[in-house]
Amino acid sequence: MNRELLYISNQISLLRILLIIPTVYLLLYKPEESYSTAIIIVLLVTMYITDLLDGYLARRLDQVSETGKILDPLADKIVVVAIVLILFLQHKIETWFFVIVITRDIMILIFGLYLKSRKRIVLMSNYPGKAAVLSIGIIMLLTIINTQNTELLDALIRYMYYVSVMLILYSLILYFMRFKKSIGDKSYDRQ
C-alpha cells in the first residue's frame, strides 16, 4: 500500500471523492425534495472545505506528496464532472458551459498524463485553477438551489457563467504556460 495515502491531507481528498456518492444519489433520485437540496448544499460546502483543508494541511504538516499532487486535482475533477454531467443531463445548465467545463478537465488530464509519463512530474494545483473550480461550484450550488427558477437566481447564474469562463480560460493559459515550461526544462529529465 502507498504510505502517502495515510497522510491526513490525502485522507481528506479521499473523503471528498466519497462524498460524491450521496451527492449523486440525491441529485439523481431525490432532486426535488427540499431535504435533499439542504443535504446536497451541506455536502457541496463540505467538499469545498475539504478542498481547502487538504492543501493547507499538506503544507502545514509537511505532507506534500506525489500521491497528493494527483489525488487532490483528481478529487476536484471527479466532483465537478459528476455534478456538472448530472445537471447537464437534467437540462439545468447550459450546453456551452458544460462543454467548456468538460473540455477544461480533459485538457488538464491529457497534459498531466503526458507530463507524468514523459517527465515523471505532476504539476500541483494553483490558485487560479482553484478559483475556477470554486466558480464552477458556485454555479452548481446556485443551480441546485434554484428549483423555482427565480429571476434573481437565474440572473446571478448567467453572470457567474461568464465569471467562471474567464477564470477557466485564465487558469488554462497559466497551466499551459507551466506545462510548456516543464516540457522544455531539461532539469526535469533527471528526476
User: What CATH number is given for 3-186 in this structure?
Assistant: 1.20.120
Residue reference for cell 476536484: 76
CB atoms within 10 A of CB 187: 8
Contact 189, 125 (CB under 8 A): no
What is the Cα–Cα distance from 51 to 76, expressed in whole angstroms? 8
pLDDT at 114 over 60: yes
Residue spans per domain, the chain: 3-186
Least confident of 32-36, 52-56, 89-93, 187-191: 187-191
What separation, in Å, do the N-terminal and C-terminal C-alpha atoms of the chain show? 23
User: Quick one: which H or E segment has residue 126?
Assistant: none
pLDDT at 191: 37
Which three cell numbers, joined as nine digits, stand for 160? 457567474
What is the Cα–Cα distance from 76 to 67, expressed in whole angstroms? 14
Which range in 56-60, 112-116, 169-173 is most confidently predicted, on average pLDDT? 169-173
User: Quick one: which H or E segment has residue 185?
Assistant: none
Q: Which of 85, 98, 16 is nearest to 54 (CA)?
A: 16
Contact 149, 82 (CB under 8 A): no
**Entry pTM:** 0.84
Q: Taking the CA of residue 121 as centre, how many other CA atoms within 13 Å lie in the half-sphere pointing to its CB?
A: 20
pLDDT at 1: 52
Per residue in 35-70, pLDDT (tens digit) is 888 899 999 999 989 988 888 888 898 888 878 888
Who wins on pLDDT, 122 or 163? 163
Contact 191, 136 (CB under 8 A): no
